[in-house]
Structure 1
Amino acid sequence: MKKILLLFLVPCFAIANDYELITKKVTVFLAGAQISAQAKIQLKEGNNELIFSNLSPNINANSIQVRGLNKASINSIQFDVTFLQQQKVSAELKDLKSQIELLKDQISLKESRISGLEAEKSVMIQNKKLNSNEANSNLTQLKNYAAYYRQRSEEINNQLYLLKKERDEFQIEIGSIQREINKLEGRNRKSRGQIKLVLNSEISQSSSLEITYLVNDAGWNPSYELRAKNTKSPVNFLYQANIYQNTGDDWKDVDLTLSTADPIQRGQKPTLLPYFLNFNRPVQRSLSLNRASNYKYNPNVNEVRGLVTDSYGTPLPGVDIQLIGTNTRTQTDFDGKYNIGIPKNAKELEFRYLGYQNERLPVYAQQINLRMQASSEQLNDVVVSAYGGIMKKQLNTAVSKIQKIEQLSVMSFQLPKKYSIQSNEEPLKVKLDQQNLDAEFEYYVAPVLDPTVYLTCTLKDWQTLDLLPGEASIYFEDTYVSVIFIDANASADEFLISLGSDQNIVAERKQVNKMKSKSFFRSNQIVEKEFEISLRNNKNTNIEVKLEDRLPISQNSDIKVSDETYDGAKLEKDTGILTWNVVLEAKAKKTHKFSYKVTFPKGERVNLER
């Protein structure tokens, strides 16, 4: 009886069976990816426990979906992370880690020397004040003191410059080595994901399941190339996608789709609150705060440089900049400029400055400029944009097999062939679109800011390209010019690109007369200004140059600007901007003048350009 009872009870228990999931399709989002995998299974009547192991540990458990059930239902879905035994650390890995420790020691030494020199400089300044105030000091001693302080200060400043430069170079080198370490450690998988399904089948059957789920540490970002052969030809525009994945799984021969959706982004609609007015100190709003959430992490960036200013555009020295989750940090220099090396998988920069709001931005480009906002001003602007309707269209013939699909709120690119992308490898670059665009070329100079004459290119109706924010490499006459950041969130109808300077066109701006000041009824002061701008064309061809300068605009009723003359220029009254479209024949020179008068109360100071 016991044997019969045991045989009767066996079918009531679910027997765990281990199956292999094979990835067939991948939809890569701007951040994250959706995996679609298939498995052939055998089900018995009743409960069946299925285990799918050796999966990515970065699976979002809430996103797991199962399709292909035939007379079967899901009792439970469970995701676990299993930890494998760590393999022995390779000699190469040990060597790289040793190099990082040595570099950290070097950085500590540099920091120590920097601190010592800065302390010495502080003591010297204090001593200088004491020595200059000593009653018994004679002129010779003071001269000797001054000469010594001048010489030693110069030596200290030179040493500080070199030490800080060497320290920053060590930090960049550490970032480069850390990326190599991450590659090696990525091959030594320490943890794996596992999906457990309990299915209840009405019959014994063979079935093909499709399991989909979201994974982190994957995504894509756009990059562009703009090439202009000369000022007479159209601009060749190349739209590319850089696809990366560090999921721990290799994608082999998969159907690939790129989507502009962001499933990780918050999907909750904003709530509009009452708008109350009160007295406060006006602060200019920083546009970067409104758009920061639209920028996405770019794993191709290994160094970031830029300029940090306040909301009025004044450079901020000493802003603390740190990569979130790392010890890598730097500060802006006296001119508000900075550069910082980006280790592998460091995704966010944080900017801190006393009296200003802390800012966090993703590492999205090699050039990141920021306008910081005073802490008294809180911005909560939300920008919502959407595409209308559903439409399909083909791209240009160069990549016509890529189908571009615009849906209600997202856009996707279905790639025409299968791809294999290994985890932790370099990003895969795929061409999405290429076409020639009509452009207008123009020489431009604003000598009040920079006497250099630049060649610019303007693309019209650029929004029809359906671009995303990303970096663009610029080439002119088969020569690399620079990298710029295309802010596709901008609303301008025209997109202007700088193609570099032209040394064959020379601009010079000088003040014609010296500043004249005189009393006016003994209460006001009058200052007259006149400037002369000359342009010389050393080229063998005729050109047209857009020349800009400016007249001052008073923001105080006690400051009067009058008697403006501007030699045929077009004046934008709201901004004071003067514009000349100067036609220059080959080897020719032209000169333009403008002048104005400023009247203000005597004893007051007004910042006037020279």
Structure 2
Amino acid sequence: MKNLLFLFLFVTTFSFSTNQKPTATSINEVTVYVNGAQITRTAKISLPIGTTTFKFDKLSPNIQESSIQISGLKSASVLSINYGINYFSKQNKSEDIEALQSQITLLNDNIQFENDLISGYEEELKVIHDNRHIGNENQAVTLEKLQQFADYYRKRITKIKNLIHASSKKKLEFNEQITEIQKQLIEFNVDDKVQTGEITVKLNSNQVSQLNLIIKYNVDNAGWFPIYDIKADKINAPLQLAYKAHVYQSTGSDWNNVKLILSTNDPNTNNEKPEVNPKYLNFISRYSTYNSTRATKNYNYKYNPFIQTVSGIVTDESGSPIPGVNILIKGTSNGVTTDFDGKYSIRTNGGKELVYSYLGYKTESLPIHSSITNLSLQEDVSMLEEVVVVGYGTQDKRNTTGSVSSINMESKSNNYQKKEENQTTNGDIIEEGITNQRFEIKKPYTIQTNGDITVIEIDKYLISASFSYFTAPIINENVFLTAKMGDWEQYNLLPGEYQHLL
């Protein structure tokens, strides 16, 4: 008996030690890339001596497991890090969602109250109908008493039915309000049972300590893309360019009052060093062949999930429109062809890339990044049949497809790590690296996980421009005012759309 009792206590103690209570975390900072985001969470923990397991729950189900980093460990060491999906947990609800669901509960209570009233009225009607007989065989009812009973029944039945009708109307109104609230909840993508991410960390320590852990990880289903507001007050005044970011996220976890950093970097881009094949210029005779190996084009375009329709013109290298070019949504059979003027328009239908193909030209594939996409196709020439003379004398082989820039890598200067730091007109900090920019937004933002766009103004510029009027009455009766900007590369802007020109 004692052995059984000891075994029961041991099993009970073991079960309590293994069932770790989830540790609360909060999002402090989010770095939003053009495709994806890095989340920085903090957690305060009390670490005893020995090995302890901590669970951080209600995280995004879209975490890239290989990107999880944990710091702030002091003398503790990490024994293991595991990431999993909980398919039965309930996600935290925002105040707006809780308020709407409370309204539904109150309306359902009101509907139940009206149902109880209607039941009471109907029972009263039943009692009146069951006792509508007056008098008996031995006692006659006077006419006056009969009129009194009839008057009472008529008035009471009429009042009861009016009360039932009023309660029914109230029920109808309450149900309509519930339907409207449910539509709002659908907009919030509310689901009691949702997938959530969980990170389980096993730590070991030789001493008792209080730790402020910093947990970083990358997530999908988030990003930002640029939008430009261009305004012109006068033709003799500079253009006003507002550089704005449209930030979106549907990661499964709200970002509440967090510090935002917008980065032009894309962590999902292939970071392997490219091999650039040189192209040599040679004299070509009738007995030799010329193999054209074109360098890979780098458009630096990023997918924009909010583009619904893409239109534009497809031309050749000389600028002439190409009719009949096939344009397909990559991975599908949905597509269109360009008309006689090389123009096209296609619905994206959730696609991410467009593929342009035409006989005799190189096939191009572009991310859906803008609602207006013009493209120039290059001819696919495998052999030149003409003799091209480039000049007199001889010519050495030169690399004409790539360029190399040297960077001083001396340990004293460390120029390859150095970044230039300044501020935007809004007071936000700009960090310029070798290949990307980071905008540290001073104002904290709340971005809910509903896929809606949050507009953030990054910077403003005054740009000198030369204005001119253009008209072609045969084609279009309107007169167009055009603005030409020079040296725009200095602003280091990303490819994007402009909203309006005033």
TM norm. shorter chain > 0.5 = yes
Structure 1, 335-344 or 29-38: larger mean CA deviation = 335-344
Report the Cα offset of residue 403 of structure 1: 1.6
Match of 1:148 in 2: none
Q: 2:424 aligns with which of 386, 389, 395?
A: 395
- In structure 2, what residue type is equivalent to 1:291? N
1:249 aligns with 2:253: yes
C-alpha distance in 1 between matches for 2:18 and 2:476? 78
- Aligned positions of 1:99-138 closer than 5 A: none
Q: For 1:206, what is the secondary structure of its paired residue?
A: strand
Report the Cα offset of residue 195 of structure 1: 1.2
1:55 aligns with 2:59: yes
1:339 aligns with 2:368: no
Superposed CA deviations along residues 436-472 of structure 1, whole A, max 9, x for unmatched, are 3222222356899999764322223322322111112
C-alpha distance in 2 between matches for 1:80 and 1:375? 49
Q: 1:422 aligns with which of 425, 431, 448?
A: 448
Report the Cα offset of residue 262 of structure 1: 1.6
Match of 1:193 in 2: 197
C-alpha distance in 1 between matches for 2:483 and 2:83? 54
Q: 2:271 aligns with which of 267, 289, 292?
A: 267
- In structure 2, what residue type is equivalent to 1:299? P
* Cα 1:291/1:239, change in 2 over 3 Å: same
Q: For 1:464, what is the secondary structure of its paired residue?
A: helix
- Aligned positions of 1:229-308 closer than 5 A: 229-273=233-277, 275=279, 290-292=297-299, 294-308=300-314
Match of 1:472 in 2: 498
- In structure 1, what residue type is equivalent to 2:447? I
Higher RCO, 1 vs 2 (CA within 8 Å, ≥6 residues apart): 2
- Aligned positions of 1:347-362 closer than 5 A: 347-362=352-367
Matched-pair contact (CA < 8 Å) for 1:236–1:436: yes
Report the Cα offset of residue 187 of structure 1: 4.0
Matched-pair contact (CA < 8 Å) for 2:279–2:293: no
Matched-pair contact (CA < 8 Å) for 1:65–1:212: yes
Match of 2:457 in 1: 431
Match of 2:133 in 1: none
Matched-pair contact (CA < 8 Å) for 2:276–2:402: no
Superposed CA deviations along residues 492-518 of structure 1, whole A, max 9, x for unmatched, are xxxxxxxxxxxxxxxxxxxxxxxxxxx
Greater strand fraction, Structure 1 or Structure 2: 1
Q: For 1:220, what is the secondary structure of its paired residue?
A: strand
Report the Cα offset of residue 301 of structure 1: 1.9
Report the Cα offset of residue 376 of structure 1: 4.7
C-alpha distance in 2 between matches for 1:219 and 1:384? 32
- In structure 1, what residue type is equivalent to 2:328? Q
Q: 1:316 aligns with which of 318, 322, 326?
A: 322
Report the Cα offset of residue 405 of structure 1: 1.8
Matched-pair contact (CA < 8 Å) for 2:277–2:401: no
C-alpha distance in 2 between matches for 1:426 and 1:207? 36
Unmatched segments (≥5 aa) in structure 1: 88-179, 477-610
User: Which protein shows a greater Rg?
Assistant: 2
Report the Cα offset of residue 223 of structure 1: 1.1
C-alpha distance in 2 between matches for 1:382 and 1:423? 43
* Cα 1:57/1:274, change in 2 over 3 Å: same
C-alpha distance in 1 between matches for 2:213 and 2:203? 11
TM-score by length of 1: 0.54
Report the Cα offset of residue 60 of structure 1: 1.0
C-alpha distance in 2 between matches for 1:86 and 1:205? 32
C-alpha distance in 1 between matches for 2:278 and 2:366? 29
* Cα 1:375/1:194, change in 2 over 3 Å: farther
Match of 1:366 in 2: 371
Unmatched segments (≥5 aa) in structure 2: 92-182, 384-399, 408-414
Report the Cα offset of residue 435 of structure 1: 3.3
Match of 1:37 in 2: 41
- In structure 2, what residue type is equivalent to 1:423? T
C-alpha distance in 2 between matches for 1:61 and 1:213? 8
C-alpha distance in 1 between matches for 2:444 and 2:244? 17
C-alpha distance in 2 between matches for 1:204 and 1:252? 32
Q: For 1:315, what is the secondary structure of its paired residue?
A: coil
Q: For 1:238, what is the secondary structure of its paired residue?
A: strand
CA RMSD of aligned residues (A): 4.0
Matched-pair contact (CA < 8 Å) for 2:313–2:343: yes
Matched-pair contact (CA < 8 Å) for 2:278–2:401: no
Q: For 1:18, what is the secondary structure of its paired residue?
A: coil
Superposed CA deviations along residues 256-305 of structure 1, whole A, max 9, x for unmatched, are 1111122111222223446566756798979xx6233x011223322111
C-alpha distance in 1 between matches for 2:195 and 2:306? 26
Q: For 1:416, what is the secondary structure of its paired residue?
A: coil
- In structure 2, what residue type is equivalent to 1:370? L
